[in-house]
Structure 1
Amino acid sequence: MNGELTPLGSLLPALASEARRRRLAMGLVFAAIALAALVTGMLWPKKYEASTTILAQESIITPLMEGVAAPTGNKNRAGIARDVIFGRKVLDQILVGGGWMAKNPTPLEQDRIIEGIKGRTIVKTGNGNLITISYFDSDPHRAYDVTRQFAQLFISESLASKQRESREAYEFINSQVETYRKKLTDAESKLKAYRDSNADARPGSEADTNARISQLRTQIETARMDMMDRRSQASSLASQLSGESEVNAVQTADGIYQTQLAELQSHLDKLLLSYTEDYPDVVRTRHQMQDLKQQLAQSEQRKLQARSVGAPATESVVSFNPVYQQMRSQLATVRGDSAAAAARLGASESMLQAELERSKRIANSENVTAELTRDYNVNRDVYQDLLKRRENARVSMNLDAEQRGLTFLIQNPAMLPLTPSGLRFMHFGLAGLTLAVAIPLGLLFALVRFDPRVRSVQRLEHDTGLAVLATIPFYPTPRDRRRERLHNSMLALTITGVAVVYLAILWLRLKG
C-alpha cells in the first residue's frame, strides 16, 4: 500500500458501513454531548447587565470665571470615575446595598466579593463628557441596584471630592500666605533696623555721595585756579608797588591855606559869573574864604610867637602818593583773597576725603543692604502672588460649595434588565445539538480515513494495483440480526429521549 490519500468518493461506502456498524456508539456520543450541553446551559450563570450614563458638564459660570477661579476637575473622567467607584469607601456601601453583607462574610470573603464586583464593572467615557457605568450580575435586581448606587455614589463622592480639594487648596494657600507674611515682616524689620543703625545704608546715599564728590572736586579745581590767579595778581602788584614812591610832596600849613584860598577864589569867580552876591553858594564861599584868612592870620601869629621863644617850626605837612596807597590796598585785598582761596581749597580737600571715606562705607554696606533688599523683594513678590492665588482659591471653593462649577447629570438612568445578556440556554442547546451531530461524524471520518485496514474493493485495487476477481459478502446470523434490532431500538430510544428532554426543558422555560 502506498501513502497517497484516498479519494473522498471511495470513502463513502466505508463511511456508511462503519456508521451502520457503530451506530449505537455514535448515538451514545450524540446523547452524551447533547445532554452535557443542556446541563451546561442550565447550570451556566445568567448575566443580567445594567448600565447608566452620567453627563459631566461645566456651568456657564466656569468660562466667565476663567482666570479668577481655578478648576478642580480633571479631564480624565474615566480615570476619576474608576478611582472613585473602586474606592473602598464606595465598595463598602455597595456590599451593603447589594445584600452581600447580609451573610456576614469574613474580611477575606469581602475582598473576594469586591474583586468580583470590580471584574463585573466597566467604566468608559464617550465624547469626553459622558461617563458610562455598566455592571452585570446573575440577579437582575442586584444588577439594577448596584448600577444605580454606583451612579449616585460617584456623583456624591465626586462633588464631595471637589469641595474637599478646593477647600484644602484654599487652606494650604492661606497657610502659605501667613507664613510669607511673617517672612516679609521680618525681612522689612531687618532692612529698616539696618538702615536706622547705618545712616549710609539709606536709599540714595550712593547717588548723593557721588554728586557731592563731583561737586567738591569742581570746587577744589575752582579754588585752586582762583588761588593761582590771586597769587599771580599779588606778585604783579608787588612788583608794581616796588616802583612807586610812598610820599608825593612835603608842604607847609600856610602853603596849604594859600592853595585852598586860591581854589575858593577861583570857585567864587565862577559863581559870580552866573549868580548874584545874595546867592547861597556865593555867600557860603565868601564865609569859607574869611575862615581861611583867619586861620592864615592865626598861623602867622603862632610863627612869630615861636620865633620869639626860639622853638623850631613844625608846620610842614607831608602829602602821600595816592597811586601807591591804592596799589597797596589792592595788594592787601588780593593777598586776602588768595588766603581765602587757600582756606577754601583746604576745606574742600578735607570734605572730599570725608566723602571718599563715606563712599567706602556705603560700598561696604551695599552687600548687606542688597542681600536684605533681595530677601525683602522675593518675599514681597511671593506674598503678593499668594494673595492673588488665595482669592482665586476662595472663589473656586465657593463655586464648588454651591455646585456652580462642574455638575453631574444622570443622562440615562439604570433600568431593571429583563433578559440576560451573553450566552443563554438557547445558545447552549443549539450548540449542543450541533456538536452532538458533528463530533460523532468527525470521529467516524477520522477512523475511516486514518485506519489502515482495507474496507472496500476500490481501496484494495488502488493500494495493490491488482484486479479483484470476486468478493465474499457478509451474511448475518439470526443472533446478529437480533443484536442489530436491539442496537436500532436503543439508538431510537436514545435519540427520542434526547429530543424529549430538550422539548420538555424548552416547554418548562417558556412556561416559567
Structure 2
Amino acid sequence: MNDVYLQIITYLSGIWRRRWLVLALAWLVCGAGWTTVASLPDRYQSQARIYVDVDTMLGPLMKGIAVEMNLFQQIDIMRRTLLSRPNVEKIILMTDLDLTVKNEEGKERLVEELAARIHVKQQGRNLFEIAYEDTDPAMTKRVVQAVMQIFVEGNLGASRKDMETTRRFLDGQIKDYEAQLVAAEQRLAAFKRKNMGMLPGEGNNYYDHMQKMRQQLSATEAKISESVMIRNEFRSQLKEVPQFLEVAGENPLAQVSANASRGPDSDLMIRMLEMQQVIDSLMSRYTEKHPDVLTAKRRLETLKKELAAEQAGPGAALDHLQNVSGPAGAEIAALDGGPAASAPVAAPPPAPIKNMLPNPVYEQIKLQLVQQEGVIAALKNRAETARKDVEKWSSMAKLVPQVEAELAQLDRDYTIVKKGYQELRQRQESAKLAHDLETKAQKVQFRVIDPPKMPLKPSGPNRPILLAAVLFGGLVVGIAFAFLLSQINTTFSSVHRLRATFTLPVLGRVSAVVSRAERRTRMRELVGFAMVCFALVAAFGGLVGIEMFGAGGLMTKIRGLGII
C-alpha cells in the first residue's frame, strides 16, 4: 500500500513540475473548442400534438351494421410509414425545400436529413407528438404543419381508398354471383321440367306403387289359378255328363211337353250344380279325403241317381224307391198298399221306345265352362296389365334415386351460390354504410392539442454542456501530455524511484537549500499560475453565463463581429 502511495506521489510530482505546460495545453484546447462551440448554428424546434378521437357515439350505434375496421392499427401503421420516402418527398414539395437542391445527390441528402430530423412519437393511446428541428425557425413550423396534414389526410385518404377498392371488388363479385345464380336457377328449373312426376315431395311413392302393383299381380295370378282349377273341374264334369239323354216313349216331343207341363224337371240338376260348386269350394281348401268333401261327393252321387231314375220313368223311380232301404223304403211300401215283402210282382212292361234328347245338365256345365273361360281370359288380361305396371313402376323406381341425387346436387349448388350471393349483398350494404359513415360523418376526429408555432428561442445546441466538456477535455489533454513527458524523462525525482530502478544501495541524498529570494520567486510563480487557472475558469463561467442569460443574441453578435 505504501508503494502505491509513493508511486502516485511520484506521478503527481512529475505532472506538477510541468504545470505550466498543462495549463498552456488546456488554454489551447479550450480556445479552439469554445470557438467551435460558439460557431455552431442555433437550432430551432417546432412541435405539435394531435389527439385521435375514435370513441365517438357512432361506433356503438353502427356496431354490427357497418364494416368495423381496427382504427388504432391503421393509425399505428400510418405513424410508422409517415416518414417513408414518398411522404418525405411530399413534405419537401409542400415546404419548397426542393428549391434548395440542384441535383439528385443533393435531393437524396435532403431526404435523408429531413427524415432523420422529423420525430413522431406516440404519447399514450391516442396522443401523438410531431417535432422537427432546423436552423430556420419558420421552416420548422412549415415542416410540422406539412407532417400534420399528411398524417391526417393519409389516414382518411387510405381508409376511403380502401373502402372504394372494397366496394368495386364487391360489385364485381356480386355480378359474377348473379350470373351463377341465374344459371343455377335455370338448370334447376329445366331438370324439374324434365323429371316431372319423379321428384320427391310430389306424392309419388314409386316403391309403394310398385309393391301395390305386385300385390295386385299376385292376387290376380291366384284368381287365375283358382279359375283354371274350376275350369278343369268343369271340363272333367263335362266329360262325365252325357250330352244327350235317352227318353222312353213314342213321341219324344210329347214326353218333353209332358215333362214341361209337370214343371221344370231340372230341379235335381240345379241341386247337382250347387252341390258341385260346394265340392269345388271345399276342394280349394281341403283334400279329396276330407270328410266334408267325401260327404258332398256322396250327396252328389245320390242326386245323380235320383236324376237318372227320374229321367228313366215312374217305374224306374219306383224301383229306385223300392231299393231304398230303411224307413224311407218301408214308407213307400206302405203307400203302395202293404209291406214291400208281400207285394205281388208285376209282369215286366213292354220295352219302351228310347229317344235322344239334349242333356240340360250338360248344357249348364258347358255354359259355366264358357263363362269360366271368359273369366280366365279377363284375369289374364288384368294380370298382363298389372305386370306391365309393375315393370313400369320398377323402372321408374330405379330412376328415382338417380333423379333425387341429381336434384340434391343441383339444390346444393344453388344453395351455395345463393348463400354466397346473399352474404356478398350484406357485405355490400355494410361497406356502403361504412363508406357513408366515413365520408358523411366524422367517425375519427383529429384534434390538434398544440398547434405548431414558430420558435423564438433556439433549442440547441446545448452550449453550456459543450463548453464544460471542452474545458474538461483541455485539462485532460494537458495532464495527459505532462504525464507522458514525466514517463519519458530519464531523471529520478525521488530516492524511492532510484532504489526501485537500481540494485545498488543508495548511501544518502542531498537536500537543496532554498533562499528567500527563490521562495519569493516561487510564490510569484504560484500566484501567476493560480491567476491563469482562475482566468481559464472565469472565461468558462463567462461563456456559460452569456449563453444562459444572454440567450443566443449575444453569442450571435459575437460571432457576427468575428471575435470568436
Q: Residue 95 of structure 1: CA displacement?
A: 1.6
Superposition TM-score, scaled by structure 1 size: 0.71
Establish whether residue 52 from structure 1 lines up as the match of residue 91 from structure 2.
no
Deviation digits for residues 224-261 of structure 1, max 9, x if unmatched?
2332233334344555566667789984535655779x
Q: Which residue of 1 aligns with 2:509?
A: 470
Unaligned runs of 5+ in 2: 265-354, 554-564
Q: Which residue of 2 aligns with 1:300?
A: none
Establish whether residue 27 from structure 1 lines up as the match of residue 23 from structure 2.
yes
546, 550, 562: which one pairs with 1:507? 546
Q: Residue 442 of structure 1: CA displacement?
A: 4.1
Q: Which residue of 2 aligns with 1:177?
A: 174
Deviation digits for residues 346-378 of structure 1, max 9, x if unmatched?
222223334444556666777766665554333
Which letter does structure 1 place at the counterpart of 2:23? G
Unaligned runs of 5+ in 1: 261-315
Aligned ranges 1:153-172 → 2 under 5 Å: 153-172=150-169
Q: Which residue of 1 aligns with 2:378?
A: 340
Structure 1 window deviating more from structure 2 (109-118 vs 121-130): it is: 121-130
Q: Distance in 2 between matches of 1:74 and 1:486?
A: 75
Q: Which residue of 2 aligns with 1:230?
A: 227
Q: Residue 429 of structure 1: CA displacement?
A: 1.2
Establish whether residue 143 from structure 1 lines up as the match of residue 182 from structure 2.
no
Superposition TM-score, scaled by structure 2 size: 0.65
Which letter does structure 2 place at the counterpart of 1:392? S
Asked if structure 1 preserves the Cα contact closer than 8 Å seen for 2:15 and 2:479, the reply is no
Asked if structure 2 preserves the Cα contact closer than 8 Å seen for 1:120 and 1:135, the reply is yes
Q: Which residue of 1 aligns with 2:388?
A: 350
Structure 1 window deviating more from structure 2 (413-422 vs 56-65): it is: 413-422
Q: Distance in 1 between matches of 2:82 and 2:137?
A: 20
Q: Distance in 2 between matches of 1:349 and 1:398?
A: 72
Asked if structure 1 preserves the Cα contact closer than 8 Å seen for 2:48 and 2:448, the reply is no
Q: Residue 343 of structure 1: CA displacement?
A: 1.5
Asked if structure 2 preserves the Cα contact closer than 8 Å seen for 1:56 and 1:407, the reply is yes
Structure 1 window deviating more from structure 2 (184-193 vs 370-379): it is: 370-379
SS of structure 1 residue aligned to 2:64: coil
Q: Residue 421 of structure 1: CA displacement?
A: 4.6
Asked if structure 1 preserves the Cα contact closer than 8 Å seen for 2:197 and 2:204, the reply is no
Deviation digits for residues 432-477 of structure 1, max 9, x if unmatched?
222222332344345546867521123223444634413264999x
436, 440, 444: which one pairs with 2:478? 440
Which letter does structure 2 place at the counterpart of 1:405? K
Q: Residue 426 of structure 1: CA displacement?
A: 0.9
Q: Which residue of 2 aligns with 1:40?
A: 36
Deviation digits for residues 169-227 of structure 1, max 9, x if unmatched?
11210111011111221233344445545668866699654444333333322322332
Q: Which residue of 1 aligns with 2:83?
A: 86
Q: Distance in 2 between matches of 1:81 and 1:259?
A: 127
Q: Distance in 2 between matches of 1:77 and 1:422?
A: 34
Q: Distance in 2 between matches of 1:474 and 1:96?
A: 81
114, 118, 131: which one pairs with 1:134? 131
SS of structure 1 residue aligned to 2:106: helix
- Assess, with a 3 A threshold, how the Cα gap between structure 1 residues 110 and 217 changes in structure 2: closer, same or farther: farther
Asked if structure 2 preserves the Cα contact closer than 8 Å seen for 1:50 and 1:417, the reply is no
Q: Which residue of 2 aligns with 1:253?
A: 257
SS of structure 2 residue aligned to 1:55: strand
Aligned ranges 1:76-475 → 2 under 5 Å: 76-77=73-74, 79-82=76-79, 85-87=82-84, 90-103=87-100, 105-193=102-190, 196=193, 208-239=205-236, 251-253=255-257, 256-257=260-261, 331-358=369-396, 372-417=410-455, 419-421=457-459, 423-445=461-483, 447-448=485-486, 453-464=491-502, 466-471=505-510, 473=512
Q: Which residue of 1 aligns with 2:62?
A: 65
Which letter does structure 2 place at the counterpart of 1:471? V
Aligned residues between the structures? 450
SS of structure 2 residue aligned to 1:72: coil
SS of structure 2 residue aligned to 1:70: coil
Deviation digits for residues 278-320 of structure 1, max 9, x if unmatched?
xxxxxxxxxxxxxxxxxxxxxxxxxxxxxxxxxxxxxx99797
Which letter does structure 1 place at the counterpart of 2:108? D
Q: Distance in 1 between matches of 2:540 and 2:414?
A: 93
SS of structure 1 residue aligned to 2:52: strand
Which letter does structure 1 place at the counterpart of 2:427? R
Asked if structure 2 preserves the Cα contact closer than 8 Å seen for 1:49 and 1:420, the reply is no
Deviation digits for residues 469-490 of structure 1, max 9, x if unmatched?
13264999x9xx9999999979
Q: Residue 401 of structure 1: CA displacement?
A: 1.3
Deviation digits for residues 39-59 of structure 1, max 9, x if unmatched?
332244536252423324143
Which letter does structure 1 place at the counterpart of 2:144? T
- Assess, with a 3 A threshold, how the Cα gap between structure 1 residues 418 and 124 changes in structure 2: closer, same or farther: same
SS of structure 1 residue aligned to 2:175: helix
Q: Distance in 2 between matches of 1:244 and 1:101?
A: 138
Q: Distance in 1 between matches of 2:167 and 2:116?
A: 38
- Assess, with a 3 A threshold, how the Cα gap between structure 1 residues 216 and 375 changes in structure 2: closer, same or farther: same
Deviation digits for residues 327-362 of structure 1, max 9, x if unmatched?
665554444333222222222222333444455666
* Aligned-CA RMSD value: 4.4
Deviation digits for residues 411-437 of structure 1, max 9, x if unmatched?
444455455556501111122222222
- Assess, with a 3 A threshold, how the Cα gap between structure 1 residues 48 and 451 changes in structure 2: closer, same or farther: farther
Structure 1 window deviating more from structure 2 (363-372 vs 177-186): it is: 363-372
Asked if structure 2 preserves the Cα contact closer than 8 Å seen for 1:58 and 1:407, the reply is no
Q: Distance in 1 between matches of 2:80 and 2:496?
A: 72
Q: Distance in 2 between matches of 1:117 and 1:228?
A: 112
Q: Distance in 1 between matches of 2:419 and 2:379?
A: 54
SS of structure 1 residue aligned to 2:24: helix
Structure 1 window deviating more from structure 2 (28-37 vs 355-364): it is: 355-364
Structure 1 window deviating more from structure 2 (342-351 vs 74-83): it is: 74-83
- Assess, with a 3 A threshold, how the Cα gap between structure 1 residues 418 and 225 changes in structure 2: closer, same or farther: farther
- Assess, with a 3 A threshold, how the Cα gap between structure 1 residues 391 and 495 changes in structure 2: closer, same or farther: same
Asked if structure 2 preserves the Cα contact closer than 8 Å seen for 1:69 and 1:393, the reply is yes
